[in-house]
């Protein structure tokens, strides 16, 4: 009887993991000894990091979207349906479409999404670029923008933690390119006592802000937006007026694990920091944004976790034991303007150091944006 691997979530982590296991177990799949099933509630994949460029007209939306089936290698069966309930006792997942799927090993790669409703008034009075509709609407607004105060406010937690900084630097250079920087005040508001959750990144960003004339407002935890007065207020009692408000909304995880009793009421999945095992279940794992791990919610994290977990699942599916451990590895490019970038890399025990931005790193990021599709297929 075939061993069943069921992966829930067809985002970066789910696709990479499914493809890596299928490539490594191609012979076992062909002989009917292993089955790899990917269950996703969307049949199109969106390259989310590309949304950063949409407001500035640097990328077209069609370049960021491809059918999920086109991104799968042979040996992976894709089911377009939504998982509604997990039963760890019977090892089954029930879907909205009425399917009852069994598994020997289950991987939750259900991601995270913005929760605009957490901030009253934001939907009416603000913009964001973390969704397709939000990025397109912001592009239309920027096309009409001729100057004023721009407030960029970040909620926590959010995925791609350096994206708020990238947007700020891109906006700074974009307004200079358009000749309206002297008419534009840029205010960056962050919930902590510094510009980023990682100290070395925060120190570097603060120096960049000072050099570029960007105002830093710390201890600004989003509470509400008044779209009539055009004001955004923090839990600390600070109110900022704005002509344009760009918010990175707080995120939350998918409700599947919570509704299945796996999380203790939270939407973030309790996950072992090294084995990626979910709670007490030795056959359920989680990767990517869905986890409650103390790591960045970023595509590179999902990538490195997928590599570790794929190796362990290959062993488990063929009668072996897991031996690989995730060490918290992350890698993030940081756009510092329209033609320069830097990067950071770190793990659980090694904090990042920011290197001076260069055009070469910017070109590397642009190149990766184009070869990401091969990465999803586990070609690289």
Show me where the domains of the chain are located. Answer: 3-111+254-329, 115-250
Do the Cβ atoms of 177 and 184 come closer than 8 Å?
no
3-state secondary structure the chain: CCEEEEEECCCHHHHHHHHHHHHHCHHHHHCCCEEEEEEECCCEEECHHHHHHHHHCCCCHHHHEEEHHHHCCCCEEEEECCEEEEECCCCEEEECCCCEEECCEEEECCCEEECHHHCCCHHHHCECCCCHHHHHHHHHHHHHCCCEEEEEEECCCCCCCCHHHHHHHHHHHHHHHCCCHHHEEEEEECCCCCCCCCHHHHHHHHHHHHHHCCEEECCCCEEEEECCCCEEEECCCCEEECCEEEEECCEEECCHHHHCCCCCCCCCECECCCCCEECCEEEEEECHHHECCCCCCCHHHHHHHHHHHHHHHHHHHCCCCCCCCCCCCEEEEEECCCCCEEEEEECCCCCCCCCCCEHHHHHHHHHHHHHHHHHHCCCC
CA contacts within 13 A on the Cβ side of 222? 30
Same fold: 3-111+254-329 with 115-250: yes
Give the pLDDT score at 214. 98
Do the Cβ atoms of 200 and 353 come closer than 8 Å?
yes
Contacts of 90 (CB under 8 A, 6+ apart): 102
pLDDT above 90 covers a percentage of the chain that reads: 97
Residue numbers in the chain where pLDDT is lower than 70: 380
Per residue in 328-379, pLDDT tens? 999 999 999 999 999 999 999 999 999 999 999 999 999 999 999 999 987 7
In angstroms, the CA 306 to CA 91 distance is 22
Do the Cβ atoms of 250 and 116 come closer than 8 Å?
no
In angstroms, the CA 46 to CA 135 distance is 13
What is the pTM (predicted TM-score) of this model?
Answer: 0.96
Per-residue tokens: 227: 């779209």
Specify the CATH superfamily of domain 3-111+254-329. FAD/NAD(P)-binding domain (3.50.50.60)
CA contacts within 13 A on the Cβ side of 42? 14
In angstroms, the CA 120 to CA 129 distance is 18
Residue 6: how many other CB atoms lie within 10 Å: 26
Under CATH, what is the fold of the domain 115-250? Answer: FAD/NAD(P)-binding domain (3.50.50)
Do the Cβ atoms of 222 and 114 come closer than 8 Å?
no
Do the Cβ atoms of 185 and 280 come closer than 8 Å?
no
Would you give the DSSP letter of residue 63? G
Q: At 180, phi and psi to the nearest 5?
A: -120, 15
Give the pLDDT score at 380. 62
Q: At 215, phi and psi to the nearest 5?
A: -80, 130
């Amino acid at each position: 009887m075939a061993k069943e691997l069921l992966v829930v979530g067809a985002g970066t982590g789910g696709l990479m993991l499914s493809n890596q296991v299928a490539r490594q177990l191609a012979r076992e799949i062909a002989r009917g000894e292993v089955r790899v099933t990917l269950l996703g509630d969307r049949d199109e994949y969106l390259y989310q990091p590309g949304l950063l460029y949409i407001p500035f007209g640097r990328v077209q939306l069609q370049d960021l979207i491809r059918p999920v089936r086109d991104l799968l290698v042979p040996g992976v069966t894709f089911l377009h349906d939504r998982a509604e309930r997990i039963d760890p006792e019977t090892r089954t997942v029930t879907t909205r479409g009425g399917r009852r799927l069994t598994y020997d090993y289950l991987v939750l790669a259900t991601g995270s999404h913005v929760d605009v409703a957490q901030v009253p008034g934001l939907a009416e009075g603000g913009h964001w670029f973390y969704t397709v509709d939000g990025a397109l609407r912001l592009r239309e607004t920027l096309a009409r923008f001729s100057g004023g105060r721009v407030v960029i406010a970040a909620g926590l937690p959010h995925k791609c933690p350096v994206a708020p900084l990238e947007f700020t630097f891109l906006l700074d250079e974009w307004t200079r390119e358009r000749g309206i920087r002297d008419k534009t005040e840029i205010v960056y508001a962050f919930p902590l006592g510094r510009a980023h959750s990682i100290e070395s990144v925060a120190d570097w960003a603060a120096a960049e802000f000072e050099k570029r004339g960007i105002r830093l407002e710390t201890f600004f935890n989003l509470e509400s937006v008044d779209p009539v007065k055009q004001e955004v207020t923090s839990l600390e009692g600070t109110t900022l007026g704005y002509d344009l408000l760009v918010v990175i909304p707080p995120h939350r995880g998918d409700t599947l694990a919570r509704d299945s009793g796996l999380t203790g009421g939270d939407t973030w999945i309790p996950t072992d920091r090294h084995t990626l095992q979910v709670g007490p279940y030795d056959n359920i794992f989680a990767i990517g944004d869905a986890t409650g791990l103390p790591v960045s919610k970023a595509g590179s994290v999902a990538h490195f976790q997928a590599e570790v977990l794929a190796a362990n699942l290959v062993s488990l599916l063929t009668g072996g034991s897991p031996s690989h451990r995730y060490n918290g590895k992350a890698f993030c490019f940081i756009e510092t303007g329209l033609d320069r970038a830097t990067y950071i890399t770190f793990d659980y025990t090694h904090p990042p150091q920011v290197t001076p931005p260069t055009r070469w790193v910017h070109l590397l990021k642009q190149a990766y944006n184009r070869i990401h599709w091969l990465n999803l297929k586990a070609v690289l």
